[in-house]
Structure 1
Amino acid sequence: MTRVSRALPTVATMLTLTAVLATGCTASAPVEPSDTDPAPLSVPDPAPLSVPDPASLSASEPVAGCGPGSGATKNDGSLTLATDSPAYPPWFASDDPANGEGYEGAVARQVAERLGYDSDSVRFVVVPFADALAPGVKDFDFAINQFTISDDRRSAVDFSSPYYAVAQAVVALRESPAAEARSTADLVRFRLGAQEHSTSLGTAAATVQTELPGTAYATNDDAKEALLAGEIDALVVDLPTGLQISEELSETVMVGQFSRSTAAPDRFGLVLEKDSPMTTCVSIAVETLYDSGVLDALAGTWITDTAGVRVLD
């Protein structure tokens, strides 16, 4: 996988880094990374953060001031993580987010370790996708569930630095006319569906501008059932999920992915309560995983190579 060079921080940023190093991870102002610049599909391009340079940290060194005894977590001495149920592959494995397998399962474990929490000190709770993004007090320290970083969501929750960048893709029944689409223009006459509260349907509407309104479903499982039942002609999901569906359901096929020239890739970030004292801590951990090459390695292990997927211009 291709690594991406990052811009050097400005002098002002370096002063901010020094201030954060001096105060640990209890600063009241959370870090909110920018997500405006497109990033490669398999490697997120983190925006400048007011955090210590991850290159100065050991790949296995815990982030100072963030671990057990710091008072930053919901329950001192333990870390509470959240995701939805079921926990889908390739993001998780065996519907068990706590086993450290699947891309997001592995990322969650690595972040926890960077914060100083071993697997015995981490517990997962089930929180529906929309509930995790809703404003208000959370009962978790951070949630991981393919949450796309966006400005409108930042008004309700905090996001960490991005840990993955991904295109949206289209899956159709193998025998459907929609399976023959080779461009976004070919999709305008078809009925599209996606999971509600995700960015997939919005991306499709803005990119394809279909003649028919899209349909939102409570879960990806519901959307898959609608596709199989003929309620929709094509399903819009993130690219790794689309590849997983086309492998899982033999009657479906990956139609293609939206071009980055017309639809910037989504960037996934960890979700935290607004103004959480853990936001900076978690961002430092993610940045360290990025700079040490761990995120690349995990993506290579758990996510199917997307290089050969057709681009729908």
Structure 2
Amino acid sequence: MSLSGKNIMRAAAAIISSAALALTAACGSGNDAKSSSANSNDITQQTVAPGKLTIATGDPAYEPWVMNDKPESGKGYEAAVAYAVAEKMGFKKSDVVWTRTTFDSAIAPGAKDWDMNIQQFGITPERKKAVDFSASYYNDSQAIIVKKDGKYAKAKSLNDLKDATIGAMVGTEGYKYAKKIKDDIQTFNDDAAVGQALDAGQIDALVTSTVECVYMVDSDQVKNATVLGRIANSTDPNGMGIVLPKDSKLTAAASKAVKELNADGTIKALQDKWLAEYTTDLAELK
């Protein structure tokens, strides 16, 4: 074969090889696009650690929300809710990774190194400017604490407290409902100060969230005290939600999961198991 014939054969082979490579690259590109498209629709791959769901809670985390400060056990109301939500979203229990944050840093603007945060965050319009929320998994009510040996220890209704000196933290739901009992309310800057006033006998009763009331009594923050009962029709309409980073790709799925858990009775069952002392065990005051 002449030299020119060999050159023609080599050129043809090069053209065929280049075409094959181009075809292979095109097929690979198509597969990559399909894979990328599939991943974009898979929320388990949209987390800070793909395939894992990183959930934050407080440090420490308190009972009955998390038992023994061990959220990984799934024991305690919020720990149990977190795992139930994770499962609805497509994550196995072994896929959940726990981390800790402060309350304030969780709801501050900015990037996060976790996917969800659960530690009794009340859903408010102001907080929604900085973070996303799931649907509510618990709607707290307002309750009243009195001294066991006080004048109003046996009160059965809100009307029985109309002559009592009542205290509440200014600007709270507790303050709003205290004003429905009587107009003249003693105001304080925080719940700790209200508790101290009741402990010192400066007021006869205090009004705050039921969760906080039970905690104050159980922890002896107010000594020799009792939760008189929950105020009827005082449930917070906004409730508590799981916090997610602003515009998170997981927000819709987390909200859908909570709504489904409410609809199928799981949320109610977990509340009955872990929060009876805040709900069914307390008298209702009308």
Shift of 1:104: 0.9
1:281/1:263 Cα in 2 relative to 1: closer, same or farther (>3 Å)?
Answer: closer
Match of 1:191 among 157, 167, 170: 167
- Structure 2 residue runs of 5 or longer lacking an equivalent are 1-36
* Partner Cα separation in structure 2 for residue 25 and residue 172 of structure 1: 56
Percent identity at matched positions? 30
Shift of 1:106: 0.2
Q: How far off is 1:180 after superposition?
A: 5.7
Would the alpha carbon gap of residues 100 and 150 (structure 1) be closer, same or farther in structure 2, given more than 3 Å must change?
A: same
Aligned to 1:297: 269
- With over 3 angstroms needed to count, the CA separation of the structure-2 counterparts of 1:231 and 1:94, relative to structure 1, is farther
The answer to whether 1:252 aligns with 2:225 is: yes
Q: Alpha-carbon deviation of 1:225?
A: 7.3
Greater shift in the superposed pair: 244-253 or 88-97? 244-253
Q: CA deviation at 1:244?
A: 5.3
Post-superposition shift, 1:110? 1.1
For residue 255 of structure 2, the aligned residue among 250, 261, 283 is: 283
State the partner residue of 1:242.
Answer: 213
1:272 deviation in Å? Answer: 1.0
**SS of corresponding position for 1:253:** strand
Residues 275, 90 of structure 1: alpha-carbon distance in 2 compared, 3 angstrom cutoff = same
Q: 2:83 maps to which residue?
A: 109
Deviation per residue, 1:10-43 (Å, 9 max, x gap): xxxxxxxxxxxxx9996xxxxxxxxxxxxxxxxx
Asked if residue 130 in structure 1 is aligned to residue 107 in structure 2, the reply is no
Q: Relative contact order (C-alpha < 8 Å, sep 6+): which is higher?
A: 1
SS of 1:111 mapped into structure 2: helix
1:73 aligns with 2:47: yes
The question of 1:99 aligning with 2:70 is answered no
Q: Using the alignment, how far apart are the partners of 1:152 and 1:175 within structure 2?
A: 41
1:149-190 per-position Cα deviation (integer Å, ceiling 9, x unaligned): 222321221111122222122223323456466428638733
Counterpart contact for 1:168–1:236, Cα < 8 Å: yes
CA displacement, residues 231-284 of structure 1 (integer Å, 9 cap, x when unaligned) = 974554432453455456472201222331x66445121111111111012112
Deviation at 1:146, TM superposition (A): 1.7
Matched length? 240
Instruction: Give the aligned residue type for 1:282.
Output: A
| Conservation of the 8 A alpha-carbon contact between 2:168 and 2:194 | no
CA distance in 2: counterparts of 1:122 and 1:289, whole angstroms: 18
CA contact (8 A) 1:166 1:266 kept: no
CA contact (8 A) 1:172 1:253 kept: yes
For residues 93 and 223 of structure 1, do their structure 2 counterparts lie closer, same or farther at Cα, with a shift above 3 Å needed?
farther
Letter in 2 for 1:190: I
The match for 2:11 is: none
Q: Which of the numbers 121, 143, 152 marks the counterpart of 2:95? A: 121
* Structure of larger gyration radius: 2
- Check 1:157–1:179 CA distance in 2 against 1; reply closer, same or farther (3 A cut): farther
Using the TM superposition, name which of 91-100 and 230-239 deviates more: 230-239
- Pairwise CA distance, 1:84: 1.7
In structure 2, do the counterparts of structure 1 residues 229 and 307 end up closer, same or farther at CA, with 3 Å as the change threshold? closer
What is the letter of the counterpart of residue 297 of structure 1? A
CA displacement 1:122-148 (0-9 Å, x = unmatched): 222222222222222222211112222
Quote the Cα distance in structure 2 between the aligned partners of 1:155 and 1:270.
Answer: 15
Distance 2:219 2:266 in 1: 27
**Deviation of residue 208 (structure 1)?**
1.8
User: Does structure 1 conserve the Cα–Cα contact (< 8 Å) formed by 2:198 and 2:206?
Assistant: no
The residue correspondences of 1:162-173 to structure 2 (distance < 5 A) are 162-173=136-147
1:55: which partner in 2?
A: none
Q: Would you say the 8 A contact 1:90–1:241 is kept in 2?
A: no
Closer, same or farther: CA 114–180 of 1 in aligned 2, 3 Å: same
SS in 1 for 2:166: coil
Structure 2 letter corresponding to 1:192: A
Distance 1:183 1:293 in 2: 32
Residues 286 and 211 from structure 1, CA distance in 2 versus in 1: closer, same or farther, beyond 3 angstroms? closer
Unmatched tracts of structure 1, length 5 or more = 1-22, 27-63, 194-199
Question: Equivalent residues in 2 for 1:44-63 (5 A)?
Answer: none
Q: 1:294 to 1:202 in 2, by over 3 A?
A: same
